[in-house]
């Protein structure tokens, strides 16, 4: 049985954080188009840490605003984009504050 020396213990401790970082997947980016007074896609399943970019293709201004207040792109005029990074697991219902009938859902796990 190999003996545990101070040097091997320190080496193991030093490499543990690197192994953890290497095992995590890189964050992804998703695009949601705002067109014809709708979010497309209207539902997204993502991982915590992923980013969603909302781009307004309509002539009217829009927002992507979480109902619980956790994110808000602010006013997006035609061809403007806004992004949000989801930092906690959960289900996020969102609307356009100018047109509340426009609805979407992001589920992060």
Distance from the first to the final alpha carbon of the chain: 42
Predicted model pTM: 0.77
The predicted model gives 67-87 an average pLDDT of: 97
The closest alpha carbon to 76, from 96, 94, 93, belongs to 96
What is the per-residue pLDDT for 53? 98
Task: Report pLDDT digits (tens) over 16-46.
Answer: 555 444 445 789 999 999 999 999 999 999 9
What is the per-residue pLDDT for 23? 46
> Whole-number mean pLDDT of the chain?
87
The predicted model gives 77-102 an average pLDDT of: 98
43: left (phi over 0), alpha (psi -120 to 50) or beta: beta
What is the per-residue pLDDT for 26? 87
DSSP string, 18-45: HHHHHHSPPPPEEEEEEETTEEESSEEE
Percentage of the chain lying above the pLDDT 70 cut: 77
State the Cα–Cα distance between residues 93 and 81, nearest whole angstrom: 19
What is the per-residue pLDDT for 44? 98
């Amino acid at each position: 049985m190999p003996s545990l020396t101070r040097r091997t213990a320190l080496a193991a401790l030093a490499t543990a954080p690197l192994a953890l970082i290497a095992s995590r997947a890189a964050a992804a980016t998703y695009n949601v188009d705002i067109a014809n007074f709708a979010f497309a896609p209207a539902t997204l399943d993502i991982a915590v840490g992923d980013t969603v970019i909302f781009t307004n293709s309509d002539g009217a201004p829009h927002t992507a605003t979480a109902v619980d207040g956790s994110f808000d792109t602010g006013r997006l005029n035609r061809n403007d984009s806004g992004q949000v990074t989801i930092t906690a697991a959960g289900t996020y219902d969102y609307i356009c504050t100018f047109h509340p009938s426009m609805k979407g859902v992001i589920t992060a796990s």
